[in-house]
Amino acid sequence: MPYIALIPKTYILKEWLSVETPVIKPPEGFSPALQKALAWCPCCEKETPFGLDGRLGYARCVGCGISERDFYVRQFNGLWSDDALDKFVRAVEKSRRKYDRPFPWEQAGQMEQKACLVCKKPFTPAGNRQKYCTGCGEAVRKEQRKQAVYRQRKKEREGA
């Protein structure tokens, strides 16, 4: 059985929320296969493939999503020098593995559905101030613009 040492690690997701996760050391004599884009993941507790996160350009564990820039990932895989880190990221790019899961704040920020004020159909708003669905929104904006132009012209006629 490999030697396992638990090192407490705290991930701060928001200023009021932190999550404790154990960090597991690799077994004695472990050597990562960095050329194959495999590295020890301290959260998954095993050697795992890393995939490229196209949004940030980071290599991430396909199991848990931890970045290659994490302290323990660098510590256990010998990625302290920029040269070693660049070689590992190039190996991940060459492997063509992708990491395309949404960020935690993207999942948490999904809005609840609202009812459109015009047609009363439910829709998912793009922002917290959206009142109309896409189809009705265009018609309402067109009508509002028409009213604004009417008021402007009326004002010009009265002033002249």
Segment 64-123, tens digit of pLDDT: 888 888 888 888 888 888 888 888 888 988 988 888 887 666 665 566 888 999 999 998
pTM above 0.85, yes or no: no
Q: Which of 115, 114, 118 is nearest to 143 (CA)?
A: 118
What is the rounded distance in angstroms from the CA atom of residue 22 to the CA atom of residue 108?
24
Q: Which of 46, 11, 9 is nearest to 25 (CA)?
A: 46
Lowest mean pLDDT among 5-9, 40-44, 52-56, 89-93: 5-9
Length of the chain counted residue by residue = 160
Helix and strand element counts for the chain (H, E): 4, 7
Answer for the pair 112, 122: CB distance below 8 angstroms, yes or no. no
pLDDT of residue 137: 92
| DSSP, res 74 | H
